[in-house]
Amino acid sequence: MKDTILGLHHITAIAGSAQINLDFYTKVLGLKLIKKTVNFDDPGTYHFYFGDQIGTPGSILTFFPWEGITPGRRGTGMATEIGYAVPEGSLEFWVKRFESHNVTYNKPSERFGEKYLTFLDPDGLKLELYEATDSRTPYVSGDIAENVATRGFHNVTLTLSSIKDTAAVLTDIFGFKLDAENINRFRFKTDTVENANIVDLVEAMGEGRGHVAGGTVHHVAFRVKDEETLMKYRDIVEGKGFNITPKIDRNYFYSLYFREPGGVLFEIATDNPGFAVDEDVNELGKNLKLPAQYESKRSQIEKVLPKLVEA
């Protein structure tokens, strides 16, 4: 791997009910709960990580489920759509599945030569399934077979009042290139990895500003292989005049955060140390894992957290 940005690492969104969020992503979409922990800044709130069998970067969707949070609003200055890759010919399965689970969806359409299906999660978060060539091994369980299961991220869409300065971050700092465009949608892609390597920018000058709350994306994280590369990017981003955080230890990866000119919160996150750092791969997602600073308060935290019924 090159010492550069390796596509998407994870995407973090906000939900309401922890139970409803958990049920939808594991039982309807068929993702694996790979880590059940808490918000570092609000330990009375869960932080769920969903992904493939081992939590491979590029497959990780995370949530802060704040009980009773008000709904957010999609608009400019935010990530508005999360795309997953699925095998060719699988959208018919997903349409039937969404109908049987009362999931709101639109009929399949086509974008940049790929068939896709748009749907909403229970909080109104907008997601898409793209029929794409993708060699990644899916997580398979329940009644979702390997030939239809999600493979991880395909793309993420950012909606902006102007794409110019955000596009410059993607190309000049992250090494993406403009791959295709159609009307007001511009597709940027990196060739450093084969998958989870697409960012779509939608220019919507007349659209109102989005509001980050329930059912919206909190931030988008881009992937680097290690801490040395992470700090290289810190220097680059700071050199471009952006305010960027110091390195933050998130237990399962190390991070930097900065807000790009269009208003979207970007994170750069490392592959190391990975999700098996504090529990065996076979145990991923089964136990509540707490950051070291909260372990002494485990009993109090467990009393505050919503009780979950897990399959």
Q: What is the mean pLDDT of residues 262-283?
A: 96
Domain boundaries, the chain: 8-304
Two tokens at 79?
A: 């990530």
What is the per-residue pLDDT for 311?
A: 62
- Does the pLDDT of residue 3 top 90, yes or no? no
Among residues of the chain, what percentage have pLDDT more than 90? 97
Mean pLDDT of the chain: 97
Architecture of the domain spanning 8-304? Roll (3.10)
- Which tens digit of pLDDT belongs to each residue from 206-233? 899 999 999 999 999 999 999 999 999 9
Residue-level pLDDT at 220: 98
User: For residue 214, what are the contacts with CB-CB under 8 A and spacing of at least 6?
Assistant: 14, 15, 16, 66, 69, 70, 71, 72, 123, 124
Q: Above 80 in pLDDT, residue 2?
A: no
Instruction: Specify burial of residue 19 (Cβ count, 10 A radius: 0-12, 13-18, 19+).
Output: middle
Which pLDDT band, with edges at 50, 70 and 90, does 81 fall under? very high
Cβ proximity of 52 and 153 under 8 Å: no
Q: How far apart are CA 233 and CA 153, in angstroms?
A: 23
pLDDT at residue 87 in the model: 98
Tens digits of residue pLDDT in 14-35 = 999 999 999 999 999 999 999 9
Q: Give the model's confidence band at 141: pLDDT under 50 very low, under 70 low, under 90 confident, else very high.
A: confident
d(C-alpha 36, C-alpha 21), whole Å? 12
Q: What is the pLDDT of residues 159-208, one digit of tens each?
A: 999 999 999 999 999 999 999 999 999 999 999 999 999 999 999 998 99
Calculate the CA 138 to chain-centre distance.
16
Q: What is the CA radius of gyration of the chain?
A: 18
Bridge-partner residues for 85, per DSSP? 130
Does the pLDDT of residue 306 top 60, yes or no?
A: yes
Q: Do the Cβ atoms of 230 and 268 come closer than 8 Å?
A: yes
User: What are phi and psi for residue 31, nearest 5 degrees?
Assistant: -85, 165
pLDDT at 118 over 60: yes
Phi, psi of 96 (to 5 degrees): -65, -40
How much is the pLDDT for 273? 97
For the record, the structure tokens of 243 come out as: 């305010």
